[in-house]
């Protein structure tokens, strides 16, 4: 009998397909934004970013690149957090779905471009912070290491990865919660796949090690985990 994690790794999610129907993509990404807000994804990412923001001088202009920005919900929340700390955080989002890039601009005023996260159209050390939330689990090990390396290439001050931990309980919970929350049927299926595609702390730490970064990997409530590091090699 195939294990849930092997099944998930062999399955395709809608957001894996850059040619997917725009309306369905936007519906699913809207659901993902609600999942992040309700079940800990946004909280985990902001916690790690805030640890870095606390070291910044008030009034400093900073840039945040969000790779796989979706509809831009988490970087918009990061900008609100930065303002509370007296920081001017300028946002840039990268998406491979053009409809999502347009929606992030429309909803949150985020400067977006349609690009491949594996070949970011940016110079080395060209942005202060890089965020990558709920994206890494979409890739196999070699591709994930490549992505981590590329994120580190463009960051000057810090990188934050936020993702999922595999759990049958979490998969069952998100499936059941999706019914009263009226998620799109595709979200209902893909959310379960995503949970089983997630990483244990040891797995994410091993990927970071192979990518050559000394990441601080942590577990969070809601079956979430994060990895954060500074390009100079110091743990944040």
**Which tens digit of pLDDT belongs to each residue from 4-46?**
898 888 898 988 888 899 999 999 999 999 999 999 999 999 9
Determine the pLDDT at residue 231. 87
- The C-alpha angle with vertex 89 and arms to 87 and 90, in degrees rounded to 5, equals 155
CA proximity to 155, closest of 92, 65, 234: 65
**Domain 4-229 superfamily per CATH:** Vaccinia Virus protein VP39 (3.40.50.150)
- For the chain, the structural domain boundaries read 4-229
Could you read off the pLDDT of 77-115 as tens digits, one per residue? Answer: 999 999 999 999 999 999 999 999 999 999 999 999 999
Determine the pLDDT at residue 232. 72
- Does the pTM surpass 0.85? The reply is yes
6: left (phi over 0), alpha (psi -120 to 50) or beta: alpha
Could you read off the pLDDT of 155-174 as tens digits, one per residue? Answer: 999 999 999 999 999 999 99
Determine the pLDDT at residue 233. 53
């Amino acid at each position: 009998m195939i294990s849930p994690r092997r099944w998930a790794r062999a399955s395709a999610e809608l957001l894996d397909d850059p040619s997917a129907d725009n309306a369905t993509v936007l519906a699913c990404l809207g659901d993902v934004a609600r999942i992040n807000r309700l079940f800990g994804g946004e909280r985990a990412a902001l916690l790690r970013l805030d640890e870095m923001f606390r070291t910044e001088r008030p009034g400093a202009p900073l840039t945040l690149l969000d790779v796989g920005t979706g509809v831009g919900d988490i970087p918009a929340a990061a900008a609100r957090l930065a303002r509370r700390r007296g920081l001017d955080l300028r946002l840039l989002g990268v998406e491979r779905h053009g409809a999502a890039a347009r929606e992030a601009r429309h909803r949150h005023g985020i400067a977006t471009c349609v690009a491949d996260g594996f070949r970011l159209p940016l110079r080395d050390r060209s942005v202060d912070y890089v965020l990558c939330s709920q994206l890494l689990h979409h890739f196999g090990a070699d591709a994930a290491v490549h992505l981590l390396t590329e994120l580190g290439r463009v960051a000057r001050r810090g990188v934050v990865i936020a993702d999922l931990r595999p759990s049958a309980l979490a998969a069952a919970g998100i499936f059941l919660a999706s019914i009263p929350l009226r998620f799109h049927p595709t979200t209902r299926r893909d959310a379960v796949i995503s949970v089983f595609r997630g990483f244990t702390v040891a797995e994410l730490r091993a990927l970071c090690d192979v990518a050559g970064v000394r990441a601080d990997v942590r577990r969070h409530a809601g079956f979430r985990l994060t990895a954060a590091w500074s390009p100079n090699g110091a743990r944040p």
